[in-house]
């Protein structure tokens, strides 16, 4: 049972491996992709999948709740960008803060996050994880 606290924390190699692969892809995009499609859209699309896989790699949480939680987190971070949170915190010169938090709001980012989580839900449904009660 996924809601049983005793079963909630459990490593899952499949999700952890996917998280590591996606993390490497994100780094490669950040370092080598200087185009007008992969870097601005691919990274945002994949980052929510990366976060989802990372969480599912450690916790046996329901698919839909986890997906919605990740999407809400991405929306919150994007909203903080709208309010220039790095400037308000005095971190505008920090390269790390600008990479992690970002520094500009974009509706296309919101769309990319949404599409990334939609893909997660479709894949989980096709793999039977939603139907097996791990919703």
pLDDT number for residue 120: 98
Mean pLDDT over 60-71 rounds to 97
pLDDT number for residue 95: 87
Range list of H helices, 1-106:
5-8, 13-32, 43-58, 63-82, 85-88, 95-100
Whole-model pTM: value is 0.87
Mean pLDDT over 14-31 rounds to 95
Q: Which of 57-71, 94-108, 113-127 has the lowest mean pLDDT?
A: 94-108
Positive or negative, the CA dihedral 45, 47, 50, 56 is negative
Average pLDDT of every residue of the chain: 90
The phi, psi pair for 14, rounded to 5°, reads: -60, -50
Contact between residue 26 and residue 37 where contact means Cβ atoms under 8 Å apart: no
| Cα–Cα distance list, 97 to 29, 100, 111 (Å) | 18, 5, 23
């Amino acid at each position: 049972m996924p809601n049983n606290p005793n079963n909630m924390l459990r490593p899952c190699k499949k999700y952890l491996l996917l998280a590591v692969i996606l993390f490497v892809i994100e780094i490669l995009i950040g370092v080598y992709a200087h185009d007008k499609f992969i870097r601005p859209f691919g990274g945002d699309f994949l980052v929510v999948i990366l976060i989802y896989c990372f969480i599912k790699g450690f916790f046996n949480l329901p698919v839909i709740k986890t997906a919605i939680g990740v999407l809400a987190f991405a929306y919150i971070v994007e909203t903080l960008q709208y309010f220039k949170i790095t400037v308000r915190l005095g971190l505008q010169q920090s390269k790390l803060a600008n990479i992690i938090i970002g520094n500009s709001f974009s509706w296309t980012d919101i769309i990319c996050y949404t599409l990334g989580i939609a893909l997660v839900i479709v894949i989980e449904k096709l793999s039977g994880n939603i139907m097996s009660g791990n919703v």
